[in-house]
Amino acid sequence: MITLQRVYLVAGELSGDILGAGLMRELKVRHPNVEFRGIGGPRMQAEGMQSRFPLETLAVMGLVEVLKHLPELIRVRRTLKAEALAWQPDIMLGIDAPDFNLGLERQLREAGVTTAHYVSPSVWAWRQGRVKGIAKSVDGMLTLLPFEAAFYRDHRVPVAFVGHPLADEMALKNDRVATRQALELAPDSQVLALLPGSRANEIRFLGDTFLAAAQQLCQRHPALHVVIPAATSDRRREISTLLANYPLLAERTTLLDSQAREAMVASDIVLLASGTAALEAMLCHRSMVVAYKMAPASHWLAKRLVKTRWVSLPNLIAQETLVPELIQDAASAEVIADRLSAILTDEDSRHALETRFAEMHASLQRNASRRAAEAISLLAAGQPLETVDGK
């Protein structure tokens, strides 16, 4: 295997900076004299990155915002391409930010640079035709989840499943009793962790439904206590306003500032909006109900674009229905309360699912940064990625 001298990295947001810093640490273990250039945030710069632009340069969300910043993004991409070609790295790796990075990767690959991408876009879920463009852009794809790797193999794109950094970060064993004590929750109560989302629109569409379902559950289960971790001060204010309409629930609710993970570990069951929180609940080994609502026009469009059978990551990873998914009209307060109540009263099924989630957690806990560094080293040496994925 060759010794890497130069690695060009382009990260587009905070999560990419975290992934990039872990990767860089592992690459330096393998290749002590390696140099890094591109775009990175404070964590990557602390590992030796010479960042050409600030990390937030690529963190542009929404169609209008992208269009407004398009001339600047084109200029940045042109600058990065010229600098990378002049520097002649052993490999260029884009970390997430697919709308920006895949185009840059394709241009560099066509110019003879080995390229890879870390964190798959959701091409398996919608606009699957994009995989043809990805195949032309990268010599290898590094995925966080196993079903993503299976998708790329089916489309003959070289791929390595490296594992999920969140699974590496979270312990395979957690202590429900100690966490309840830290949150000042009664050790013998039943606890529901309620996570209605981190965005204002999620509180708008889900807040009342989730709180109404939780109040119905309180009526059915007198020993129930509810914990709501508010993602931000704005979300806490919005949730507090809504709670005033649910007096029984308000009496039995602890409202936290963040601490989502602690709330889930302390719980018997979790009610959450679909998203990364479902993966985190799975890694806490907790039973859950996943529900989501959106604007009717958005739902109409999503139904026609999304190609997957499931929307929640636990079900996608297992490739079977392990947790209930209630979307749009199916996500009524009554139905949610029914599902939660059924799970709460079936202790054996809860324990069985906790065991299954612990096994799935272990399967994702692969030291993602180390495996990503191995994959990058193999690609730069012109060797197949299968030797990474096969371990």
Residues 336, 233 share a domain? yes
> Is 304 in the same domain as 268?
yes
The reply to whether 353 falls in a domain is yes
Residues 292 and 310 grouped into a single domain: yes
Burial (CB count <10 Å: 0-12, 13-18, 19+), residue 296: exposed
Residues 6 or more apart whose Cβ sits within 8 Å of residue 58: 10, 11, 12, 13, 39, 73, 76, 97, 100
Query: Shortest CA distance to 198 belongs to which of 238, 165, 164?
Result: 238
d(CA 30, CA 301): 47
User: What's the CATH code of the domain at 117?
Assistant: 3.40.50.2000
State which residues form the domain around 127. 6-163+366-389
Residues 305, 126 contacting (CB under 8 angstroms) = yes
Q: Which two tokens stand for residue 131?
A: 């995989």
Greatest mean pLDDT range, 117-126, 202-211, 296-305, 380-389:
202-211
Please check whether residue 77 lies inside any domain of the structure: yes
229 within some domain: yes
Structural tokens at position 383? 């060797």
> Based on the structure, what is the number of domains in the chain?
2
Residues 105-120: tens digit of each pLDDT: 999 999 999 999 999 9
Looking at the DSSP assignment, which residues form a beta bridge with residue 230? Answer: 257
Q: Write the CB contacts of 241 (distance below 8 Å, at least 6 apart in sequence).
A: none
68 has a pLDDT exceeding 70: no
Residue 170 lies in a domain: no
Pairwise pLDDT comparison (297 vs 133), residue with the higher score:
133
Stated pTM of the model: 0.84
Domain membership flag for residue 305: yes
Looking at the domain assignment, is residue 169 inside a domain? no
Whole-number pLDDT of residue 65: 54
Tell me: pLDDT of 371 over 50. yes
Q: What pLDDT, on the 0 to 100 scale, is given for residue 301?
A: 65
Distance (Å, whole) CA 6 – CA 34: 6
Return d(Cα 103, Cα 297) in angstroms, integer: 30
201 with 138, same domain: the answer is: no
- Closest Cα partner for 142 from 116, 181, 167? 116
Q: What distance in Å separates the CA atoms of residue 264 and residue 31, rounded to the nearest whole number? A: 40
The predicted pLDDT at position 64 comes to 44
The residues with which 269 forms a beta bridge, in sequence order, are: 192, 287
Q: Nearest-CA neighbor of 142 among 337, 390, 389?
A: 389
- Which phi and psi angles does 256 have, rounded to 5°? -110, 155
pLDDT tens profile 71-108: 888 899 999 999 999 999 999 999 988 989 999 999 99
| Residues 353 and 282 occupy one common structural domain | yes
Q: Are residues 253 and 120 in the same domain?
A: no
In a domain, 1, yes or no: no
The answer to whether position 171 is within a domain reads no
Residue 390 has pLDDT above 50, yes or no: no
117 token code pair: 């991408």
Q: Are residues 135 and 153 in the same domain?
A: yes
Residue 284 has pLDDT above 70, yes or no: yes
Reference 208, options 331, 330, 342, 297; nearest CA is 331
Do 246 and 106 have their domain in common?
Answer: no
Do 318 and 207 share a domain, yes or no?
yes
Which residue bears the tokens 């382009």?
A: 10
Same-domain pairing of 86 and 184 = no
Q: What is the pLDDT of residues 308-360, one digit of tens each?
A: 788 899 999 999 999 999 998 899 999 999 999 999 999 999 999 999 999 99
Residue 137 scores a pLDDT above 80: yes
Beta strand extents in the chain (DSSP E only): 6-11, 35-39, 49-51, 91-95, 115-118, 140-143, 159-161, 190-195, 224-230, 253-257, 269-273, 287-292, 325-327
pLDDT tens column, 20-38: 999 999 999 999 999 999 9
For the chain, the average pLDDT equals: 91
Same domain, 185 and 108: no
| Tens digits of residue pLDDT in 47-64 | 999 899 888 777 654 444
Are residues 360 and 370 located together in one domain of the fold? no
- Separation of alpha carbons 333 and 291, rounded Å: 10
pLDDT for residue 51: 92
Question: 221 or 1, which is more confident?
Answer: 221
**Largest interatomic CA distance in the chain:** 69
Task: Specify the DSSP class assigned to residue 294.
Answer: -
Can you state the angle between helices 98-110 and 63-87, rounded to 10 degrees? 30
Say if residue 387's pLDDT is above 70. no
